[in-house]
Structure 1
């Protein structure tokens, strides 16, 4: 009986450097994205800048309204736009980079343009939407549109003479 022979293949892991080659492990992805953006711009012309990020949000339904809470720490109320278009709510804006003295050694706060979109399942009263900012959380209240109220309709019974019975 013969046994299979295991052959050593050249290992690609030994060719890789140990550890990260740059201080920021995502720098290579950023560089690749910039190159792709440059290539796209050179072939089709100027491209509108993409939205950098989408903030975290909760959407809650109440009896008479929807409440949307969006985390936007560091944003100023004057830099936030809230718009409605039918059943869609669009929140966009920008968190501006602060001017700092010295060298930034570590930065993990989100800055730049942001956008959050949500389509609500029912018709809304766009004229009465409110937005309040407190402690870095934007709360948007979107009232539901008035719908026909539920009512019970009594059914009457007609007799052969054309008159209704009971009334």
Structure 2
């Protein structure tokens, strides 16, 4: 029996230093799960301008970028925990996904990507033909 493998392997390397090292994903937390014949990637992006969201695929790398503008009309900050600026996340995508059929939507501060499993990578049943003829067995034993 073949083991099921996850076609996503996180790199999380791009912009690491720029976004604060170990906290580089604090501005883009995500969930990834599989449902039937597709994967769903939900990324929290509250407060970003939807026009700045960019999703691209190059070779086997999925890149998500977005920008949250800093408030400029504030005269004195008392507490500032929400990061501003450009956020980016990269994922290395394994074989077996239909990268040309990714759907993306942004609603209520969540970017949702639906990534279908490629037809050739979907599980399928192989029919076994029962041949009652014995000549093949006899030929093998002679």
TM over 0.5: yes
1:103 corresponds in structure 2 to 76
* Aligned CA-pair RMSD: 2.6
Aligned residue among 68, 89, 92 for 2:41: 68
Partner secondary structure for residue 127 of structure 2 = coil
Find the aligned partners of 1:97 and 1:106 in 2 and give their Cα distance: 13
2:131 corresponds in structure 1 to 156
The Cα of 1:49 is off from its aligned counterpart by 9.7
Matches within 5 A, 1:137-156: 137-147=110-120, 149-156=124-131
**TM-score, length-normalised on structure 1?**
0.58
Unaligned runs of 5+ in 1: 1-47, 161-167
In the alignment, does 2:30 pair up with 1:57? Answer: yes
Query: Which 4+ runs in 1 deviate beyond 6 A?
Result: none
**TM-score, length-normalised on structure 2?**
0.68
Question: Which gives a bigger RCO, structure 1 or 2 (Cα 8 Å, sep 6+)?
Answer: 2
Whether the 8 Å contact between 1:51 and 1:113 is mirrored in structure 2 is: no
Task: Mark the structure with the bigger radius of gyration.
Answer: 1
Find the aligned partners of 1:103 and 1:121 in 2 and give their Cα distance: 47
